[in-house]
Amino acid sequence: MATPEDAGEDIFLPGGKLRGDLLTEAAQSALGEAVRLTRETQWDTVRSPHLFMGLLAIRDARVREWGRLFHADLDQLLDEFQRLFYREDGEEDSYLVLNREFLSDNVIRHLRDAIGRAQGYGRKQITTMDLLISLLTVPNSIVAECLEQLGITAAKLTEIALIAENVRLDGDRTGRSGR
């Protein structure tokens, strides 16, 4: 049974709502877009591909740098994922919010991996790159499998993500992603 101390460490509040304080503004935006794209593709739960689509949709500088480094058109990639994961027989007007009951087990695992990664780097909030790297490194990732169809391995995509995370971008004071 969870103790009150455990509840403070979880990514969810006791009622199941996702803890927004554990997410950077960009990561929150990506999750909001994931919910929107889940509805648009007519699913009733947010799944890993929707999380990836949300990352692509927000035009985050680090995610864009990742795409640039492996020569991908991220807008085209987003369109391809939307087509690939569109459900003809899905729910057109499903009710979705960032709550545990509307997130797949894999998305919950990605979020927990991402906060663990952030904490491992001494950060209190999940960044977009924490989310992306979680999507690429989890075993049997449907996102990584789809990206491997482009002819590049998940390991290489992760290596590129680590480079993109640490490259100095215009406007960076630190040269590192939130560290």
- The stretches in the chain having pLDDT less than 50 are 1-8, 173-179
Q: Tell me how many domains the chain contains.
A: 1
Q: pTM score, two decimals?
A: 0.88
* pLDDT given for residue 150 in this prediction: 81
Question: Does 3 map to a domain?
Answer: no
Q: Which domain holds residue 56?
A: 19-166
Question: Does 105 map to a domain?
Answer: yes
**CA angle 27-158-111, nearest 5°?**
35
CATH code (residue 120):
1.10.1780.10
Question: Does 8 map to a domain?
Answer: no
Output DSSP code: residue 173.
S
Question: Does 87 map to a domain?
Answer: yes
Q: What percent of the chain has pLDDT over 90?
A: 71
